[in-house]
Structure 1
Amino acid sequence: MPSLIETEKKCNQIHSSPLKKRLRSSSTPESSITTPSKLDSSPEKWKSPRKCIHSSPNSPNGKFNRVCNGSEIRLVKSPRKRLIDCFPQKPKWNPKDTAQMSSVKEALHVSKTPSAIVCREEEQKRVLEFCKGCIQEGRASSLYVCGCPGTGKTMSMEKVKQNLLDWVKEAGHEQPNILAVNCTSTGKTNEIFNKILEVYQPGKRVNGASSALQHLQKLFSQKKQASNGKMMLIFADELDYLITKDWAVLHDLFMLTSYPFSRCILIGIANALDLADRFLPKLQALNCKPVVVTFRAYSKDQILRILQQRLTALPFDVFHPQALELCARKVAAASGDMRKALCVCRSAIEMVEADLRDSSSTMNLSQPGNASSDLFKAPLTDCLLKQETNIVRVDHMTLALSRTFKSTIVDTIQSLPQHQQIVLCSMVKLFRGTKKDTTVGELNRSYIDLSKSAQIPPAGFLEFSNMCRVLSDQGIFKMGQSRDDRSKRVTLKVDESDIMFALQAIRFFRNCLQ
């Protein structure tokens, strides 16, 4: 009589498909099946590539790089998850802690100089190599740094100055005299020559700025007098402040580097991108054309990286990653001004502080015995109670951006009467789907529902129709033609984001638009 194992083997041979036979032929011997320790060494069951991709990474054999049928399949994360992974997980901050709040605001302050200036390494390297070459050769020359405001020019030049002094000390060169001057601090444009002379020859007294310029010109024209002096490095920030009608001051300043025995290394810094086009041809004709280094506006990725660098030093998380990305994208599209991005982030911090004040006052109003006639200070909804107040969210950043990049339509919407604002809020809610327009009747029903939810008596249809006509006259709506007012088609002529920006300062609308 055949054993039970032999019978089962015959059944498997009869009913097995060709695929199963191939898999079984490559598996381990039957003797290994009875040994539990050898189960892990047996090959995995064949899976389709689709199942391998969608299988859970938390399963016992789950890995991010799976092997399916001999080929490696890499799981691809969504951009949102990749953005979150860029930020190390840290405990969230406590906005009620004054010490933590102060440290956050200090980290995001414009005057805060980070230990390393990121995203400007190439520009710093070019300026530093220029200065090194001039000092090594004892050669006078000039360089012009230009770029839009907030692109890191001044901060980068400070870093270049520090690195240059370190290099001079290590290389054993004589340390140059350094003058860092902001041209806006000079009372008269030609006073900069007095400042140069004071550093190059301390204690030297001359009468008037013109005499200082003449003395410098004479000094750099005579070998005997100039050879005894050190090299002099001049950082002239806000150089475009020295522009005069005849360009005389700028002309004389750059000409100081062209004299045969000059010891000056001039680095001019300005926002004017076209200054080089307007002024450099004259300098080129006089053989003193400066090297030009342009600081381009920051991109979205660069702004995001700089913000991350400033926030990494904090021992807690302050911003949601998507909130920072929104700030970086908006500022990069508008101007690429890093100072503007820092101001927006600080404004978003203030939004969190305002939320905390509102929530504490609302909790006090909701206590027994307290009542308020202000309908916009009603008890918080469950949705608002569940929101995080210990991190800067996307809605905080949206409101901060709206205040920074406010358009005229935002001011118009904020000045509208309350019921007209409710009409706009109703329209935004209606258009959140695929709809691009609606009828006056449908908009009226949405307006009534929203008014009742706020316990505000809705206006009658005649008054509602007049409100729509007023909004149309102001260019916010576009109303079609129809004999029946309820059948008229209504279309928004402004961006929904502008309406959300304008109304999110009021808690009632903020809750409705979330």
Structure 2
Amino acid sequence: MAACLHEAQGASSKMAWRPSAGTPRASDSPAPPTAPPPQGVRGGGGGTRKRLQLDGPEGAEPKEDFLSHLLDEDLRGSRPPRPRTGVVPPLKPSKVVLNKLHLCEDRVGPAARPRTSRRKTTYLVSSRIRRQLNVLDDQERTSDEDEEFVPSGEEEQEEEEEEEQQEVSVKRSRRSTVTPRSRTAQRRKQVAPQTLRQATPSIPRRMLPIPQPTNVLEEARVRLHVSSVPESLPCRETEFLQVYDFLHSKILDGTGGCMYISGVPGTGKTATVQEAVRRLQLAAAEEQEVPPFNLIHINGMKMTEPHQAYVHILQELTGQKVTCDHAAALLEKLFSRPSPWKRSTVLLVDELDLLWTRKQNVMYNLFDWPTRSHAHLVVVAIANTFDLPERVLMNRVASRLGLTRMSFQPYSFRQLQQIVSSRLNRLKVFEDDALQLVSRKVAALSGDARRCLDICRRAAEICQQGSGVLVGTSHVMEALDQMFSSPYITSIRSAALQEQLFLRAVVSEFRRLGLEEATFQQVLVQHQALCLLEGLQPVSMSEVQTVCQRLGACRVLLLESNRLGVLQRVRLNVSQDDVLYALNQV
């Protein structure tokens, strides 16, 4: 502390006699004498600052003289030699003065230093930055190596020789600093790429073809699969002709129109329409008086949102993929503007009831576009509800749907037997009694052809596992038990009488409405009618509501909140076929 003060006093006295050129001179009047430091006062940073800052109007001059003196000493002692060209390199006096001040503070003592030294903090920060840069260099090096191409064997040897030469040159010359990143760049420039690594995973290709069926039962299983396309559609000849004539007339005339097809699941609605369209496409390809047309098939079950139908239709027509609102605007312009080269478009809308919205704008646009004179759009809508236009659709939507409607009735047991026989195509696999048993069981439940094909296919698998030749009634009964055996069916079989009657009422109400849900009040009316039909005394509404809550607790039914009362909506958590099968087995 005393040494630092003595140096500061000496610097101020020297500046009075030897002022340096280029620095501001001190005033001619001598500086006022400084008082000696009082005894008992410890040295510190505060005492040094008080020594440098004197009282009075001229107290700031000794500090400036001290800073200029430090600057002069640094300029005299550490000034580099001038180059031959005569250009003096620029100096930064501020950094020199700051370094002197830090040096003076270090001499004063630890009491004047702050808790964290600036030099230590700077060192820590710089070390952290250096470590982060090293990590980034390592990551870039690994990424660059991953993006490199795989060289051949000769090129790898050349790379090794070049790397050895580079290592020798690095050892000899100290000035050459080659980083791993620069080595990677040099290697990329020198090596010519040939084959690129497979960065994205891919499914391995099938090395062997699909095995062909080796016996009669395997051939029957392939033919009875639902995805296999049959050669013909039996038992739907009348409906096929009606759909074919409707589409053929609209495509020939170049006009638009709508057709609504309804029926329970598994009655061949979609398959019949697709077969009619396929025949028209074959006729258009052979130029048999049928102009070419576009086919678009959308399914409401595959749409995450009803407005996604606009995006799918626009993408099929133009190949563009935009947002829902933009697609609706573009389709509005496309179907409103005349064009002499515009083809007719057949739009097949499956599961129409799933495209329902509160404002029903999607259904309205789909049925309104065919009414435009320049649209050339034919819409075929398919749903499971018979009276969907009258019950669900608004008047402005139902009026644009029109009156061209068709209803597909469930298959009878003879029709189901004929469908299975046509699929087998003279392949003797089933016994006559076994095939008739399957047909009658499915026809009594729902008349679903897909369920009948699944049961026959499972029976063929069971027969093949037992090393049988023909599928008999025992195989069919085992397949029926496996297809309809579930915890829900077991719970329905062991339910109370009123619970079983309530489930019957739910199924009958669903079939009457053509929907998959109904209100508790509607089911209550059916339940009371069934009680009178069975010769039982109708129970009160509170008891029926308790029965409904018990079935909901077993998750056989899906119920809304109890606050709605009789307007509470009821849905089945199992299929109607399973419910009827379980109730018929009781």
Within-5 A mapping of 1:211-360:
211-223=326-338, 226-279=339-392, 282-283=395-396, 286-289=399-402, 291-314=404-427, 317-356=428-467
Cα deviation for residue 134 of structure 1 reads: 0.5
SS in 1 for 2:479: helix
Letter in 2 for 1:278: R
* Structure 1 residue 161 corresponds to structure 2 residue 277: yes
Does 1:399 find its partner at 2:478?
Answer: yes
**1:378-404 CA distance string (max 9 Å, x none):** xxxxxxxxxxx3211122212322333
1:236-280 Cα offsets, whole Å, 9 max, x none, are 222222122332211221111122322111111222333233246
Provide the aligned length of Structure 1 versus Structure 2: 287
1:213 alignment partner AA: A
Provide the residue aligned with 1:150 in structure 2. 266
Percent of aligned pairs with the same amino acid: 30
Residue matched to 2:295: 178
Q: CA deviation at 1:284?
A: 6.5
Question: In 1, Cα distance between the equivalents of 2:249 and 2:337?
Answer: 23
Check the 8 A contact 1:221/1:262 in 2, yes or no.
Answer: yes
Closer/same/farther in 2, CA of residues 304 and 283 from structure 1, 3 Å limit: farther
Q: Which whole-Å CA distance do the structure 1 matches of 2:416 and 2:214 have between them?
A: 27
Match of 1:100 among 211, 216, 241: 216
Distance 1:107 1:328 in 2: 17
**Cα distance in 1, alignment partners of residues 488 and 395 from structure 2:** 46
Q: Distance in 2 between matches of 1:347 and 1:147?
A: 26
SS in 1 for 2:259: strand
Q: Structure 1's 136 and 396: CA in aligned 2 closer, same or farther, altered over 3 A?
A: same
- Distance (Å, rounded) in 2 between the aligned partners of 1:324 and 1:181: 35
Distance 1:350 1:222, change over 3 A: closer
Taking structure 1 as reference, are residues 290 and 248 closer, same or farther at Cα in structure 2, changes over 3 Å only?
Answer: farther
Counterpart AA for 1:128: Y
CA contact (8 A) 1:410 1:501 kept: no
| 1:266 counterpart SS class | strand
1:440 aligned residue: none
Provide Cα deviations, 1:211-249, integer angstroms capped at 9, x if missing partner: 2222222333333xx443111111122222212233221
Q: Is the 8 A contact 1:142 1:265 kept in 2?
A: yes
Partner letter of residue 185 of structure 1? Answer: K
Higher relative contact order (CA 8 A, sep 6+): 1
CA drift of 1:310 comes to 1.2
CA distance in 2, matches of 1:306, 1:203: 39
Note the alpha carbon deviations across 1:474-508, whole angstroms, 9 max, x for none. xxxxxxxxxxxxxxxxxxxxxxx99x989xxxxxx
- Structure-2 residue corresponding to 1:141: 257
The answer for the alignment partner of 2:115 in structure 1 is: none
Separation in structure 2 between the aligned mates of residue 402 and residue 352 of structure 1, nearest angstrom: 15
The change in CA–CA distance for 1:414 and 1:198 in structure 2 (over 3 A counts) is closer
2:198 is aligned with 1:198? no
Structure 2: how far apart are the matches of 1:188 and 1:402? 38
Q: 1:287 to 1:276 in 2, by over 3 A?
A: closer
Q: CA deviation at 1:159?
A: 0.8
1:37-116 matched pairs, under 5 angstroms: 99-116=215-232
Tell me the CA shift for residue 138 of structure 1. 1.1
Tell me the equivalent position of 2:566.
Answer: none
SS at the partner of 2:469?
Answer: coil
Q: How has the CA–CA distance of structure 1 residues 286 and 240 changed in structure 2, closer, same or farther, with 3 Å as cutoff?
A: closer
Report SS of the residue matched to 1:131: helix
Partner in structure 2 of residue 187 of structure 1: 304
Partners in 1 of 2:320 and 2:470 — Cα distance?
58
Q: 1:354 to 1:228 in 2, by over 3 A?
A: closer
Contact 1:258–1:288 (8 Å) recurs in 2: no
Contact 1:280 1:289 in 2 (8 A): no
Aligned pairs for 1:364-513 (under 5 A) are 389-406=468-485, 411=490
| CA deviation map 1:12-52 (0-9, x unaligned) | xxxxxxxxxxxxxxxxxxxxxxxxxxxxxxxxxxxxxxxxx
- Give the distance between the partners of 1:148 and 1:285, measured in 2 at CA: 21
Take 2:399 and 2:353, find their aligned partners in 1: how far apart are those partners? 20
Q: Is the 8 A contact 2:257 2:378 kept in 1?
A: yes
In 1, the alpha carbon distance for the partners of 2:294 and 2:396 equals 25
Instruction: Give the greater-gyration-radius structure (CA).
Output: 2
| Contact 1:132–1:164 under 8 Å retained in 2 | yes
Give 5+ residue unaligned stretches, structure 1.
1-96, 357-388, 416-496, 503-514
Amino acid at match of 2:460: I
Does structure 2 conserve the Cα–Cα contact (< 8 Å) formed by 1:233 and 1:266?
A: yes
Secondary structure of 2:222's match?
helix
Report the 3-state secondary structure (helix = DSSP H, G, I; strand = E; otherwise coil) of the residue aligned with 1:189. coil
Contact 1:138 1:263 in 2 (8 A): yes
The 8 Å contact of residues 143 and 292 in structure 1, kept in 2 or not, is answered as yes
SS of equivalent residue, structure 1 residue 293? strand
- Residues 407 and 184 of structure 1: CA distance in aligned 2, closer, same or farther (over 3 Å): closer
**Alpha-carbon spacing, 1:266–1:402, altered in 2? closer, same or farther (3 Å):** same
State the TM-score, normalizing by the size of structure 1. 0.51
Instruction: Give the SS at the match of 1:269.
Output: strand
Going from structure 1 to structure 2, the CA distance change for 1:287 and 1:101 (only over 3 Å counts) comes to closer
Q: d(CA) in 2 for partners of 1:409 and 1:271? A: 24
Q: Residue type matched to 2:218 in 1? A: S
Post-superposition Cα deviations, 1:401-440, rounded to whole Å, max 9, x if no partner, equal 233345989848999xxxxxxxxxxxxxxxxxxxxxxxxx
Q: Supply the AA of the counterpart residue of 1:321.
A: D
**Do the aligned residues in 1 keep the contact of 2:367 with 2:397 (CA within 8 Å)?**
no
